[in-house]
Each structure stands twice: as C-alpha cells, then as structure tokens.
Structure 1
C-alpha cells in the first residue's frame, strides 16, 4: 500500500515536472527548478535572455544561484530561503540584487514554490523577474482586496481642463508629467493628441467627441498610452471626465482627472504570472490548474482539473468543458463572473458541476487574465478546487490568509498590521521596515517597545482610540519623529489606519498604510517661506519706490524753481540790464555829436571806447538771452526743411557775405525733425563763424551739405532717439581753422581762441549751437587743422 502511494506521488511529480517545463517554455522570465534531493538547479532560456548567461556556462548546482547574489544581500537571502524550506512553507518570495553576465546587478523579484512528498521538501520551482526598471512603482492596483483599496484612494490624480471652443487645454504639473512635460507654455488639443500612442489615438478622439456631443453626452472613462513629449517614456493613463453644456446645448467646458496606471498594468502581469506558477504547485494539494490561450482557444490543463470538473482524468478536452458540465441553474452565475472578469481581469466564481456519473460537486474557479503591454488580454490562467467538503473549505480559508499576506508583502506602499490592543507588529513589508529604520527585529514586538520614540507623539493614542471606536483614521502630511541610525529625524507621512474584524465582528487588528511625503511637505514649507520673503521684498520695494518718488518730486520742484530763476534772469537781461546800456549808448552818441569838437584826441579815443564796450555788452546780453531761452523754453518739434532755413540765414547775412567776398556752395538738403527757430540760430551761428574766420589772402569758400547715416554710424553716437533715423549736416570752410586739441573748449561758454582785436564776438555762439543740438537729441563735433579750414558736423533726426 505504501509503495503504491509512493508510486502515485512520483507519478504526480512527473506530471508536475512536465507541466512546469511546458509553462517554462512559454514565459519570458527566468524559471528555475531546484532538486533539493540531488542538489541540482535547472535554468530556462531566461537565464540567457534576461541576464546574458549561456546555459552551458552556468554551474549545475545551487552555487549557480547564490554565487551571483550581491554580496550584501547573499547571507540574508540564503538564510531566508533555507528557513522557508526547513519550516515547511509552501512558497517563498524575496527581492534582492542578482549579477548579470556583464558584471552589473539587476533588482529581481524571486519567488519559489516547494513541492513536498510525504511531508518532505523534495523540489522547489520558481520564477525570477527583473524589476530594475520598475523599482519606483507606487501605484496601487484597483483590483486588490479591500485592504489595498485605501492605498489606491491615496493615489494622487492629475487635473485637466479643456475649452472646447478654442481647444486650449490646462494641465496641472502632474498631468504635464504624464505627457512627458511638453515644452509648450500654452497647450492645445491638437498638439496633445500627437503625444498619444498611435494605436490609441483614434479611440481617444472618438471618446472625446462622444463626450462633447450634445445628443450623446457620453461619460468619458478611458485608458490609453502616451509617449512622453520630452522623455519618450510610454505610460498608461486612466482618464475620467465630463463635458459641461450651456442651456443651448453647446459644450463650454470639458474637465476631469488622469492618473498613471502603468505600474498597475505591470502588476497585473506579475499577479497573472504568480498565479500560473502557483497553479503548478497546487496540483499536489488536490486542486487543478489550467491555461487558456485566448487567440487560439487552446487549453492546457492538468489531469486533476479534468477529474475535479468531470469526475474523470482525460487527456483530450476542449475549453467547452467549463460549459458542458456546469449545472444549468448556475449558468447565470458563471456568465456574470466572466462579464465582471472582462472589466477587472480577475475571474472568480463558485458553481455546481455535473460529473459523468451525474453526481453534483461544488467547484471553485479562480482565474486571472494576462495582458500584453497594449492592454489586450492574451491568456486566462487559473485553478479549480473541489470545495464540496469542509476540508476544502478550510483550505480556502488558509488560501485567503496567505493571499492577504502576499498582498501586504507586494503592496506598493508601506504596510503593516498591529495585532490586538498590545499592537503586536505583524507582516510589515519592506517599505514599512525601511520607514521605521530598525530592520525586521521589530516583528513580533509591541509597537510601543519597538518604536519607543512614538511615546510622546499622537499615533499610539490614535491607535488606542480606533480599537475602542472601530472608526478608521486617515491623515495627510502628518509629522513623525523617528530614530534613524541612532539619530532622531523628522519625516512627514500620508497614512491610514483601518480596523480589521473577525467573523464575530470584533476588532482584532489594525492595518497601517503609509506614504512618505517628506520631500513634498518640505518643498511646500520652503515655498511658503519663499513667498513670505517675497512679500517682505515687495513691501521694501514699495517703500523705496515711495521714497524715491518723494525725492524726485523735490528734485522736480527744485528744477521748476531753477527754471523760474532763469526766466527771471532772462527778463532782467532783456529789460532791466538793456535799459541803462541803451542810455549809455544814447548819451555817448549825443556827447560825440554835440561836444565832439571840444574833445581833444585823447577824449575822442575814450568816448569811442565807451561806445564799443557798450555795443559788446549789448551783443553779449543778446547772446546770453538767446542761450537762456534755449534752456528754459519748451520747444515743439515739427518737420523742418533745411534748405529753407539755409536760404533765410544767407539772406540775413547777405551784407557780411558780400563784405567778406565769401562764395557759398549749397548741396541737396533734407527735411529734419526739429524747432524752426532754434535750427535757424544753429545755422546762422555756424555760417557766421565760417564767414568770420576767413584767411585774408585767400578767397573764402563755404560748402553746406547733408547726407543720410548708416545704422552702424548711428549706434556709435550718444543720446540719439532710437525711433528716429538721422542725417549728417556739415558746414565746411577754408578759413584759418584751429588745433583740434581745443575741440572740447570751443563749445564752452565765453571760450575764445582769438583775441577781440582779431575777430569780434562774445564767445557764446558755439555753446548756443551745442545747446540747440542737445535740445534736438543730436550731436555736434568738428574737424580742423590750423590754416587748413574747418568742418562743423551736426547729427540731426529726421521725421519717421
């Protein structure tokens, strides 16, 4: 009898091995088979495809595995798996670093399932998945059990809003990240569509059109892929939204939320693969497994599954088996389960099956759809169990407990359970242990003892209150002070406490889920401090602007007073000072005409000197008055024809021109932008100087010309109007000239290079010319050599 049982066990083992090898060929992960009795390890082609090792160069023993584990992880991993084998665990799972053929390390998720014969572990089979590119997964799976639902609710969403009329789309920062941070500041519908994967683009456009259609007003709930605008990363998004319509039925707003479900879809694939591997190991426990290819409708099943469904172990069965043997009264239950599975990816139902001998048995069917990277279901795998008797019911309870343990271990957020009012720490996952910073030594200890730093913080009291009230608790951005490496540090968390109840409704544990948001909170605090500093700077700037405004007001008032004084000086010069000067000239003339014959030669000389001095004084007062008027008078500008100005000046200077026998040559002159009277003074002073400072033995020739300026020449000149073009106006003579070292001096008030005995004048003429040019935002200079003539150059603006 014992020999027969052993033979049956060996037969079952051979069937499981064949089943395992068949599945191993169909997977892209690294599959391993460890014969514990022979101490040999078999690897599938994944060892080459994933890690780069040729199978012929891989050692046959367990050293092919543990010698490639990262030295920092090796001791803990090997100890952990040996404990699981010695303890009689049916499954083992761990994450660690595994060396590739090129020397780099991959982060892997390894899980194995132990096969026992007569209570002895004889074989362990498992799969190893490279998680290097998925280590940052923080999205919860919507299909998880109720204990993971809280983590999914904590998932942050991106907000979007579109104007259907303009096509302009508003994205918050999270939505921009989901699209790979498009560089455009203002986003629009047409450009964003281009960042959607080309295979999903049409269905997205159709869904949006249906949502915006006033007759359909369809709900917008869709999953699709985006290709990052900047990073070119493929992401899966789940978007929901709604269109809002005017009373006339026109859409005026289309808004909703988006979230990244890339990791969720990847997690589904991992769960499906785990279920496939688990199916191989459950054969020995009396359950049957199956794998259906949805493309070919081919089914791969175990003899145990055939026996559970039909009562016979058959080698040739079709997928119709699930329909043919279902009790007629349970067809509706089965159909509803498949309809739900098409949405969730999980198939679960219990139904009665009629065996070939017409006996009825309760069977539980658990399945999982496997999706490819595009979201298309490609296979359905699962197990069937005979749950007719109570023993199998107990197996269901144990499976459920193990499933909870697996869910906690795989949870994408930090998760742990606190058992009883003493809050014994149980099942903390790696993420939670990392947050606490004390390793797995805290497992099995009361929370108060394991984390003594919590004594003066609110968390322990909150947990006590939950055990009493049974009400869950959630908080965002809550501060927690934890000891890390012997140092008390401050962190911030979003966390939830959910009470768990037993079959009697009593609270026996609390489920803790936490997300570290320290960086976000610190960034927000830094932003608030920055905003406060900004407000202080704005206030200081306003104070300084107000002070500067007051200073400018005082300066303007002083300038007004100064201008008023200048105007009073001009009035005094034109009236009060001229009046006594005219009396001097008048009385000296009468004195000369009436008593001239009575004066001797010395008296006549002194009288002539009085008349000459009074004339010079009168001329100087006139020039000062003219200069002051240029300084104080507001001038209106208009287009001025230079040719007309020059003609008028030549007419006024006709006597001097004839007296000096000067020849005037006039070129083509343009229209400039300026004040006619001031420009007349400018031309008159320049032409007068050219006539006055002639050489006695050379015929006087004076040339007046003008030409346009190039942009490069304008850029080199100071104080020019940027919105105007400029011309160069020149007055050229062949007179006595001057040394250019006196160039700056000749434009100053009362500066003369020659004595009054040689040339008459007040020394104000060129200073007046400079002031006129400055009033016109122009520039004046000169070129000259002694006895070789002079060229006075004036730069003037022209009308736009």
Structure 2
C-alpha cells in the first residue's frame, strides 16, 4: 500500500463504521449471503431479530428455519429469483419470524441486491432487514376499522358527516338524510336538516354543541320528525376539530337511528316500574338483598310490616336491622344460597322478631332464591315469605282442644264412632265395641247394622243416608236400642254425628259420639207417668176454669144487651175484670203449686237419693225442666190475661226510652250472642209504658232467639210515618186516623214462610219444636194484643233463611 492510499483507506473504514453505527441506531440489521457456500454473515441486530445470539455466521438453511412455516417457501423462492437475476437481482419481501422462547414472532421487511461476477454468476446477496411489526399491525387495524366503518354504514342505520363551522356547509352520505328525514338524498343543507329536529328537543342539541366547546366532544339524543310525520330517535356522537389557535373549525361525527333502542329502553323501564309496583303492593313479604353482606336493595311494605321497620331499611345490611336472627341460622341460610346458588325453602318455620321493642315468635313459609346478572353470576338473594302465625297458633289450639275433648269424652263415658262415606266402613272406639260385642274396631255397613233390632234397622240406615245426602244439614241424631251380640244385653243409646266434607264439598266422613241412656229412659218413663197424672189433674182444673169463664161471658152478654142499665153494666163489667184478675192470680197460684211440689220433690230426690238414682238423675232433671216449662206457660197465660183485661194507663211515652230499657234488660243475652242492635230515632206516642215495654221485650227477644247458628244477630229498629191510604191491605188498625207511625223491627235470623204470618200471632202457635227453640207460643199473641190496645195493628214479612221484619202501626 502506498502512502497516498493509506489516507483513502482510513477514510473508507471510518465511513463504513459511521454507516454501521447509523444502521444500528436505526434498528436496521445488515446481512450478506455467499452464493457458493450458502453461509450468511450478519450483524448483531439481525441476530437479535432472528433469535440467534453470538452467531455472526451460520448456514442460510438455519436462518430459513427461523422464518414462520407459512412464509418459508415464499422467502426461499424470492432468494432464488434474486440469484437468477430476476427483477435486476433485487430482493424486497415481508415475512414473519418463528416464535421461540424469549423471542416473540415479528414481521420483518428484508431488502437486498445480488452481486454477479464477469460471467454473470451470482457471487453474493447483500441487504438490510428491519422490524415492521408495528407498521403491519397499524395497517391491519386501519383496514379493519375501514371495513367496520363500511359495514356499519351499509348494514346499520349509521352515517358520518363533516360540518365546516366557517361556512356552515356539511358533507354527508345519502344514508344520513334518510336517518334524519326519511328520504335518502344529499340535497338538504345543514340548516334544513336541523329543522327536522323536534321543536322541544332543539335546546338539547344547542346545549350539547355549547358543552362540546369545552370538552371537545359532542353527544346528544333527540327526536326527528320525518317527512311522513313519523317520529324517530337519533343519537349524534362527534368531536370538534380545532386549529393551532384553539379555534373550532369543524365537527366530525356520526349519527345513529336509535328509535328501536329508545322504545325498547322505555318499555323496559315501564316494565321494571310495573314489576316494582307489583312487588311493592304484593300482599306477601318480598325482599331483595345484594352482595355477600346482604345489603337491602328492595323491601315491600308487607315485609317491612313483618319486621316492624320503616322505609329507612333500604341500603342497610340485613344483619344490621335484624340482629335478633343471629342465633336462628337464617344468616347462614342466606350465605349458603349466595355462595352455592341452591335455593332454600322453609315450611312452618318459627322466627323470633323484635317488634315494638319486644321479641315475639312468628311462623313463616319462606324461600331464599339466588339472583343472577347478565353474565350468569350471583349478585344477590330474593326473599319471599308468607306469614302463617295465625294458622300455626290455630292448629296448636285445635290440637289442645282435641286433647281436652278426648279427655271430656272419656270422663263423660261417651263412645265414639265414624263412617267412611265412600266405603261405608264403620269404625268404633273400645267402649262402643264392648257395647256391641265386637272384637274388631271396623265393620262393613251390613255388619254394623246387625246389632240393631229388626224394627229399628231400616230407620237408622235411612237417617244416616239422609245425613250424608247432598243438600242436607250434615247432622245426624238418633235414639235407638242395640243388642250385644255376645251377651244379648239391650242398651238404649243416643247417637249424634256430623258430616265432614272435602275441598270439593263432597262428604268424606260421618263422625260422632254415642251415649248409653238406658237408665235415663227407664227413670224418664216413671217420671212421665207421674207427670201424666199431674197433667190430668191440671186439665180437670182447666175445664172448671173454662166453665167459669163461659158463665162470666154469658153474664157479660146479658149486661151488654140491657141498654137501660148500661152504666150499671159497665160498673159490673169493671168489677168483673177486677174479679177476673184476682181469680187469675188465685188460679195461677193454685196451678203453680203442684208444679212447685214436683220441682221441690225432685230437688229432694236429687239431694237425698242421688246415689240410689245413679244415671236416673238425668230423667229427674228432665222432669223438672218439663215442670219449669209448664210454670212459664202459666206465667205467660197470666200476662196475656192481664193485658187483655188491664185498663188503659195512657200517657205520652218515648219509644226510644222504652227500647233503651228493654236493651238494658237484654244486655247479657246481646253479649252472649254477639248481636248488633241499631236503634234509629223513634217517636213519642200516647200509650201504656209497661205494655209497650213488654211489646218490645218480646220482639227483641225473638230476634235474638231465632238467629242463625253461625251468624251474629243484626237487629235494627226504625220508624217512619205512613198515610192510611198506603197501609198494606192486610193491616186493619183498631183506630182509624189519617196517618200512622210505622215502627219496624228487622233481623237477619232464620225467618219463616209468610204463609204462617196469621198463625204466629195466635196463642200457643209455634213454627218450631221446643227442642229447637224454647218458648210457650204466647209472646207474639201478647204483642198483637198490646198493639190492638193502642189502636194499632201488627204484621210481619219474612222468607226462610232471610230474616224477618215486624211492622207496628200506631195512630198518629
């Protein structure tokens, strides 16, 4: 090397070093492929890009293996074409490297040039390589964005626009006009398009653009009124474009038809509101608790009432408002449902709650059900419940009552029995089995009737069939003899039973009791014989009284026919009435005396011979009850006689005062029956106060007595004035006047058939047996006599089962 060449070579070396440094700093690798030995020589950057460390020279095949399999053949073909002097020996290709541990896959841009010898043979291929992964990804994202934008424009109701603020012009596609106006066109300017906005929504757009000057973003939803008058919801999203001086130049954005979404959202909101309203007004408790801490999100009024809490429970933790549940396993139940998603159900569960400051027991059927969000994850628990405290307490009371009833039945030496209506199988208690001589507790219908005497068998079967027949009262009561099949012993039993029905109203079981009344019936026969003797004596006395009454009547007729002795006859008639009252008193005293003897002797028998009488005490009591009824009958006859003969002690009487007095006398009976008596404003009339009190005493007593078994009596006493021309045809007052006071006494009792309306006001007339309703049959006859004494009339209106109304007419 000459001295002149040394500076040149030194400069060349320095230039190459500067070039290598520049390429290295730019992240560009250099390489050189020898065509003869297929060895590739490259710098550190190439080694890093291909994942080779410390290998400055290696076979081309090894480098090719670090290229992605899908790109290897393409790279190999490009290298061969460069060696073949295709494309002037130039190489320009993009490919991916193979991902290896610690070296992710990259996109590389490789460029090179082939150098040939004088014979045109390739000597080497030299070039550079650069990492273009980021560029490729950006291009892919850009292409995807452009494709998505194109799809959005073509498929969905979405359009883009560019609004130039300097001159107010707008660039848009026809689809934008269709979204805003219903017509697919580009003929509308910006002002025309905005005129399609609903007038009420234009301030919303204006405010959105104003706010956008601060935020750089514009977003709003408004209604557009199309050409055909239909209304469509449109969402606009855009951004301001500012110049270097921060002055707005353009607004670019897109519009989207969201009519379906808005309507669906509103429908969903309405549905949610309806559901919330239904939950809030539900008659059973409902609560919703979210998160594992069970924060109360929803609690309707029913559950707040059960808790004894107010509206401030919302947002609080379940354990915070109901700390008393800590030891009752309910917290654990809620947590288990939240963690496992398995619902929990409890029946007849006792829960102790603090209500009004006091820990009290309640009973519930309740459920804890998991709630899931849109991703299928549990976010809370719904609590539904039904309070059954009253039912549980009632059941406990029934069980207690049944136990007491069993004890009472055993103490009363009653037998029990039942019949399955469907199968006709009878079941008996041990006591009943002993009476019948049965060794088994169940018998078929034919076997059950065998212990009955022949003459009673059919009547018992008919009575049981009638009790279980549709439309019957469902009650059975009978008295008949039975014969023990083993000993032949005859007993007289009194059997009672009631039919029990299923939910469909079909009879299921006839269940009841039986009492051995053999001894009572034997004693009753003896007592009835004695009563018959006393009755015959009373009848003879009554015949004598009747004869005396006939003689008095004849005497009165003689006085009445003697006009010239009228004054003397009236005096005699007055004295006759006095004598009759005295006689009635004496007669009633003499009639009552034998009855008192019967009752006194009965008391002596019970007190001194009770042990010897045994079960005969019952017969003795029935005899005394019969004597008491006879005594009441005599008293009622005496009252009727007194009203018929009593002189008028007339004065101005307040009927409200009369009724108030009577209600005071009946107060205990009203409380016992649970009756509600309503008294309107009543008039003051001229009359006898004591007779009027007896009148209302009888009417109100009947209203309380003839009541429905399962319904508390409702009685109303009211008054109005009626003209004589408006009186019912059947009403004939004793005194004629232009107007009358009409006093009505109405009840909701058992009522009666109106064909018996005349009969009920007669002495000793009854529509019911004495075993159904106590009484002598004289009360209404007394009522008619009192009203007649006051110049008026009485009648009644009724239907069976629909109550009765008694109407009293007094002269005004």
Same fold at TM > 0.5: no
Larger radius of gyration: 2
Alignment TM-score, normalising by the size of structure 1: 0.30
